[in-house]
């Protein structure tokens, strides 16, 4: 079930952007600051209404789904997640189960799986207010994963993570995609995108500057056009390094 934005315009942010995200694929959205990446993700999640155009999930317009149906289908992690109450990590993660209305046993199992996936077992009883920035980011993402959505949209989830947890999280995104979940991630780390994405969308000033396989969308020509840098890729396959200058 694909997730598509068709001719989406958000005044001052996006201009007639059309993109298609495929289930079972890791899509990375890149671009300079202010390019419209976070806005695009919020529109795809149904949290921001476009001024023109539409968002379609499978055969349905996203606006035709009930809030509960949308919450079960699309899990969204904003760039700066807020927690209103200083609850424990386990309680926070279980909040991701609210749309499902299933049994306590199923909810507990889903929350436990999400906690394991984000390496949070030792922090489950800790209050969120005592966590570091990276720990908090992992707990918020675990809340999204506990909902077992068909789509996971994450806005810069790697920003506060150390190298080991970055790699572990990207490996988990890959496992989700292999299970048929659609994953879309906003990130600035172009090497991480090159080596792990199936598809890359590059935004520039609210428009799509490039879209395709990583080696196409992040070619030296695109990097020069969009970021204004002279850069080269070294290595091959999923072990490429970026040299600038």
Q: Is residue 144 part of a domain?
A: no
Q: Is residue 172 part of a domain?
A: yes
pLDDT number for residue 81: 67
Whether 191 and 242 have beta carbons less than 8 Å apart is answered as: yes
Distance CA 62, CA 166 (A): 31
Domain count, the chain: 1
In tens, the pLDDT along 45-83 reads 999 999 999 999 988 999 999 999 999 999 999 887 677
Distance CA 14, CA 21 (A): 17
Query: pTM for this structure?
Result: 0.91
User: Considering all CA atoms of the chain, what is the largest pairwise distance in Å, rounded to the nearest integer?
Assistant: 57
Q: What domain range includes position 64?
A: 3-84+149-244
pLDDT number for residue 142: 93
Per-residue pLDDT, averaged over 78-101, amounts to: 86
Strands of the sheet containing 26-30, edge to edge, are 74-77, 151-155, 182-186, 26-30, 199-204, 207-212
Q: Is residue 190 part of a domain?
A: yes
Question: Would the CA dihedral through 123, 124, 129, 133 be positive or negative?
Answer: positive
User: How many Cα atoms are found within 13 Å in the side-chain-facing hemisphere of 47?
Assistant: 13
> Has residue 152 got a pLDDT over 70?
yes
Q: Is residue 92 part of a domain?
A: no
Q: Is residue 159 part of a domain?
A: yes
Q: Is residue 37 part of a domain?
A: yes
In degrees and rounded to multiples of 5, residue 223 shows phi and psi of -60, -40
Which CATH number do you get for residue 201? 3.40.50.300
Q: Is residue 136 part of a domain?
A: no
Q: Is residue 220 part of a domain?
A: yes
In tens, the pLDDT along 1-43 reads 799 999 999 999 999 999 999 999 999 999 999 999 999 999 9
Distance CA 170, CA 203 (A): 21
């Amino acid at each position: 079930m694909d997730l598509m934005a068709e001719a989406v315009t958000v005044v001052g942010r996006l201009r007639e952007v059309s993109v298609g995200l495929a289930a079972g694929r890791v899509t990375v959205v890149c671009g300079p600051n202010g390019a419209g990446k976070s806005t695009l993700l919020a529109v795809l999640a149904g949290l921001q209404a476009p001024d023109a155009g539409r968002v379609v999930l499978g055969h349905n317009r996203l606006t035709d789904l009930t809030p509960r149906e949308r919450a079960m289908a699309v899990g969204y992690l904003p760039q700066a997640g807020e927690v209103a109450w200083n609850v424990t990590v386990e309680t926070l993660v279980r909040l991701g189960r609210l749309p499902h209305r299933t049994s306590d046993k199923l909810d507990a199992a889903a929350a436990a799986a999400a906690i394991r996936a984000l390496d949070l077992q030792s922090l489950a009883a800790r209050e969120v207010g005592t966590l570091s920035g990276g720990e908090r980011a992992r707990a918020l993402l675990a809340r999204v994963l506990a909902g077992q959505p068909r789509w996971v949209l994450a806005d810069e989830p790697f920003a506060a993570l150390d190298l080991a947890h970055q790699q572990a999280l990207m490996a988990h995104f890959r496992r989700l995609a292999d299970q048929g979940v659609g994953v879309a991630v906003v990130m600035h780390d172009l090497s991480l995108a090159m080596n792990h994405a199936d598809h890359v969308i590059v935004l520039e000033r609210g428009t799509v500057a490039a879209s395709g396989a990583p080696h196409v969308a992040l070619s030296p020509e695109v990097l020069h056009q969009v970021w204004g840098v002279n850069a080269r890729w070294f290595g091959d396959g999923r072990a490429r390094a970026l040299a600038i200058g």
